[in-house]
Amino acid sequence: MTEVPVALLVALTGAAVLLAATLSAGEAAVLRIGRADLADLMAARHPAAERVHRLAEQRSAVAASAGVLRLLCEMVAAVCLTLAIAASSLVWSVELVIAVAACATLTVVLARLSPRSLGHRYPRAVLATTSRLLAAVHVVAGPLVRVAPGAGSEADPDELREMVERDAPGGDPDERAMLRSVLGLGDTLTREVMVPRTDMVTTGEGTPLRKVLSLLLRSGYSRVPVVGEQVDDLKGVLYLKDIVRRMEDDPAAATAPASSAVRPAVFVPESKPVDELLRELQAGASHIAMVVDEYGGIAGLVTIEDALEEIVGELTDEHDPSAPQVEDLGGGTFLVPARLGKDELGELVGLEVDDDDVDTAGGLLAKALGKVPIPGSAGEIHGLRLVAQGTEGRRKRVARVLVSRAPEPEPEPDTREPRDDREPHDRATDAATRTTDQ
């Protein structure tokens, strides 16, 4: 070991670490660079713009090629450094500790982590500087990468998420959020996006189509589940367009029961991932599905819009009001948001609302009605008269509530005979006097 050219080993170690660091920075930069950076390079007519653009078009393959050569350089650096340390006259245990610490510092910190962070922070400058080297490495190592086992296989969701985050500086924030939502669909379960059973608007199987049409128009929904004696006794789903079409063809159908026009319901388990739910609804050309729990009962319903909202966010239309505020209409009447707290509501009308079951004005109205309120629904509770006004969002939840004091009940007239507490002989004398006067 004393004849080992230590200077040569040290030089090889330094060269290998330098090349590995350059490749690590370029690898991070080619994966990180975004469309905006590429456009800036092209607009500035940078000498390396075309080369950078070509590398970015096949960034995964270029990064893989750079990664292969980087690993080779790290191995060379570790071996050369170990041999150089072994040439010393130290105790073997000390040499081992020094070799491990030195290799970890050089190959992990200097050759990988620090250059990678540099490539992440300045992808445009780093890639423009290393583009010629990366292009050459890709030409040499590219064929090896293409024939390697697993080449061409689909990236797993974690890798795709990392790619989305790496492209963050050059992409639109809304687009990045949408991509993250798409990748997260498989981790989201149907029960997380469904309309729960307690919020479902349903109609009975014997309800005339005319009344169902009125219910749909008032609530703003285009589909409604038809049930028997209870929600678990589901008969099917009734569509607004089916009612309109049938009543247009036959006006007498207005009195037909709702069960006569239902479509078969689609059932899905509440544990189904949203991405599978979306594919199932698309394949079956269905817009709505009933969600069942592990016991077979109806847990809620889910629509294709619920799944799409996980990607694009809340879906609204031009009829959805903006965030409502408290309005004093005079005469002790207020128009308040359905989400207004019960304590604030009580302060408005000068009453104490003590109810542990609900927290909002909308909750009070739902409790008074015993069902999900729709526009026009009215009820009285805790001395308050509540009337549902308007809806919001695609699920058509009640947006505002008209609040006033409930009228005081009128006292019932006393129809009982007045009580006479006099002694019997006094009553007899009084009766005799009235007879004499007559």
pLDDT of amino acid 209? 92
CATH architecture of 190-312: Roll (3.10)
- Whether the pLDDT of residue 356 is over 90: the answer is no
- Whether the pLDDT of residue 226 is over 90: the answer is yes
pLDDT top residue among 241 and 177? 241
Mean pLDDT of the chain: 79
pLDDT of amino acid 305? 83
Lowest mean pLDDT among 184-198, 272-286, 324-338, 404-418: 404-418
Domain edges within the chain: 6-171, 190-312, 327-405
Per-residue model confidence as pLDDT tens digits over 255-310: 999 989 999 999 999 988 888 888 888 888 888 999 998 888 999 999 888 877 76
Query: Residue by residue, what is the 3-state secondary structure of the chain?
Result: CCCCCHHHHHHHHHHHHHHHHHHHHHHHHHHHCCHHHHHHHHHCCCCCHHHHHHHHHCHHHHHHHHHHHHHHHHHHHHHHHHHHHHCCCCCHHHHHHHHHHHHHHHHHHHHHHHHHHHHHHCHHHHHHHHHHHHHHHHHHHHHHHHHCCCCCCCCCHHHHHHHHHHCHHHCCHHHHHHHHHHHHHHHCEHHHCCEEHHHCCCEECCCEHHHHHHHHHHHCCCEEEEECCCCCCEEEEEEHHHHHHHHHHCHHHHHCEHHHHCECCCEEECCCEHHHHHHHHHHCCCCEEEEECCCCCEEEEEEHHHHHHHHHCCCCCCCCCCCCCCEEEECCEEEEECCCEHHHHHHHHCCCCCCCCCCEHHHHHHHHHCCCCCCCCEEEECCEEEEEEEEECCCCEEEEEEEEECCCCCCCCCCCCCCCCCCHHHHHHHHHHHHHHC
Average pLDDT of the segment spanning 225-232: 90
pLDDT of amino acid 224? 92
pLDDT of amino acid 153? 47
Per-residue model confidence as pLDDT tens digits over 45-70: 888 888 888 888 888 888 888 888 88
Per-residue model confidence as pLDDT tens digits over 99-135: 888 888 877 888 778 888 888 888 888 888 888 999 8
CATH architecture of 327-405: 2-Layer Sandwich (3.30)
pLDDT top residue among 289 and 383? 289
Lowest mean pLDDT among 231-235, 250-254, 294-298, 413-417: 413-417
Give the model's confidence band at 169: pLDDT under 50 very low, under 70 low, under 90 confident, else very high: very low
Interhelix angle for 92-103 vs 59-86, to 10°?
Answer: 160
Q: Which pTM value belongs to this model?
A: 0.49
